[in-house]
Amino acid sequence: MKAIIIGSGIGGMASAIRMASLGLETHVFEQNAFYGGKINSKSLKGYRFDVGPSVFTEPHLIDELLSVQNPSNIDFTYTKLPVSCCYFFEDGTRIPLPTGTKAVAQSLSENLGEDQKKIERFLKRLEFNYKAVYAVFIESSLHRIKQWLNRNIFNAIYRIPFYGLFSSMNSVNTRDFDNPKTAQIFNRFATYNGSDPYRSPAMFNIIAHLELNIGPFMPNGGMVKISDAIYKKAIELGVQFHLKSRVDEILYADGKVDGIIADEQKHECDIIVSNMDVHFTYEKLLPKLRGPRKILEQEKSTSAIVFYWGIRKSFDILDVHNIFFSEDYEGEFNSIFRQKSLSDDPTVYLHISSKMQKEDAPSGCENWFVMVNAPIDSGQDWEVQKKKVRSSIIRKLSKQLHEDISELIETEENIDPVIMERMYSGKNGSIYGNASNSILSSFYRHPNFMASIKGLYFSGVTVHPGGGIPLALNSAAIVQQCVKKDFSIY
């Protein structure tokens, strides 16, 4: 049997490893000249930047993937970060938040006046909720009846009153915490799947469990090492990569897949896994097939504007991950989702890998990955928008760091929603497909299989179970479960 994977993002390459481990001849078709999707790297005048995702949690999922079928000698190591993120507020408050339940609770008590025991109970509740949800919602398909016939479902159902499904993240966080700053810190985890904390269900507070109770990690050598390691594992298992090969159509007949058209040639296969944005999978690759309208018409997640700045100075008060909050957080999300524009006072995320990887920047300098959440592309003049937001970012960072940042930038590049759509085939530049701004959209993501076409599957951040590196890896594992059952591979 032969499997074809469309797209070499992390979900695609993980799917390739899973298919090859089942004994299938596996091919990956990628339109770009590089593998890894958003997890890739660029170098500018002595500075190295991770282009896309920068937060790394649940490293055991990568370890497990690299040990599929047989142990591997692939060099992939990582370091746990002692500080999850350094938070800056407009009034000058700075909080380098440590990791670990007790340490987080103590820090929020000392810095923001929260009740330490109350914070500990909140974080423990997130841990229990995460574990209850994991086996049912994250690790398995929600779209097959068998999944609903196991004992894990009863534990998940039992905890429904504790999830906050019918309340927004913000309403729960403002209720449970005494200081608005604490609520803002927890609200920001909605952005990990491109959503609005003022509408997203409070269940998504569980995202904080991974970063606060356990802590983030950093691959030694940068985030790009994740893509490199998975690529090497795929090659080790015999996967063949076809770079600069754009897939133009998925072929099917008599209720099953027939192959693909790529580079004006037909490539036959038995199984297809699309790691492409599910919206574009239907629009571009399955134009004659009517897609699931309710899913495809849901509100899209945020996009982003990212600046890659080489800074000729080092700042001791900055950490690997830094957040400079907007003073009007709710107004920022209203701008993004309702007005489809950038806030005049955006929250700024600043990632500096050279804090850990000294070789990523010249001596005494830092490589700044500077990102703001942005609306999806709907015809905005992005050159004007980037100029505007660049000024806002420099003004905010200069105020907090007490220095004119514009004078320190010696190299610069940027990306915007239009570039994201072109490079990564994300609909309108959306990073995670659909946003999770309601109960329905949180659970109503596209399945990992096509019921009407045998052999057609879906992986990646735009389908079940959702956005982010861990969920993309889980989507590939779910695809493997489905393929084994559908084709009786044991």
Tens place of pLDDT per residue across the chain (490 aa): 999 999 999 999 999 999 999 999 999 999 999 999 999 999 999 999 999 999 999 999 999 999 999 888 899 999 999 999 999 999 999 999 999 999 999 999 999 999 999 999 999 999 988 988 887 778 877 666 665 566 666 566 655 656 666 789 999 999 999 999 999 999 999 999 999 999 999 989 999 999 999 999 999 999 999 999 999 999 999 999 999 999 999 999 999 999 999 999 999 999 999 999 999 999 999 999 988 888 899 999 999 999 999 999 999 999 999 999 999 999 999 999 999 999 999 999 999 999 999 999 999 999 999 999 999 999 999 999 999 999 999 999 999 999 999 999 999 999 999 999 999 999 999 999 999 998 777 677 899 999 999 999 999 999 999 999 999 999 999 999 999 999 999 7
User: Strand, helix or coil at 60?
Assistant: helix
- pLDDT value for 162: 61
Contact 7, 275 (CB under 8 A): yes
**Partners of 434 in beta bridges:** 300
* Helices of type H across 32-115: 60-66, 101-112
* Helices of type H across 252-344: 278-280, 293-296, 329-333
- pLDDT value for 135: 79
Backbone φ and ψ for 177, nearest 5 degrees, come out as -115, 150
- Cα dihedral value 270, 276, 282, 283, nearest 10: -130
Contact 245, 30 (CB under 8 A): yes
pLDDT tens digits along 13-56? 999 999 999 999 999 999 999 999 999 999 999 999 999 999 99
- Cα dihedral value 366, 369, 370, 374, nearest 10: 180
User: Strand, helix or coil at 46?
Assistant: coil
User: Strand, helix or coil at 400?
Assistant: helix
- Cα dihedral value 405, 407, 411, 416, nearest 10: 50
- pLDDT value for 291: 86
- pLDDT value for 31: 96
| Rounded-to-integer distance, Cα 106 and Cα 111, Å | 9
Record the tokens describing residue 190, joined without a space: 């909605």
DSSP of 3-40: EEEE--SHHHHHHHHHHHHTT-EEEEE-SSSSSSTTS-
User: How many residues does the structure list for the chain?
Assistant: 490
* Domains, the chain: 2-39+221-298+436-486 (3.50.50.60), 101-213 (no CATH), 302-375+378-415 (no CATH)
**Partners of 357 in beta bridges:** none
- pLDDT value for 160: 61
| Rounded-to-integer distance, Cα 303 and Cα 39, Å | 16
201 secondary structure, DSSP code: B
pLDDT tens digits along 406-462? 999 999 999 999 999 999 999 999 999 999 998 777 677 899 999 999 999 999 999
DSSP of 207-264: HHIIIIII--EEETT-THHHHHHHHHHHHHTT-EEETT--EEEEEEETTEEEEEEETT
Contact 420, 304 (CB under 8 A): yes
| Rounded-to-integer distance, Cα 78 and Cα 74, Å | 13
Contacts of 387 (CB under 8 A, 6+ apart): none
- pLDDT value for 105: 98
Amino acid at 387: K
**Partners of 256 in beta bridges:** 253, 454
Planar angle of CA 218, 221, 227, nearest 5 degrees: 85
User: How much is the mean pLDDT over the chain?
Assistant: 94
Record the tokens describing residue 220, joined without a space: 């030694």
Can you state the percent helix, strand and coil of the chain, rounding each to 5? Answer: 40, 20, 35
Name the residue among 53, 57, 7, 43 with its Cα closest to residue 27: 7
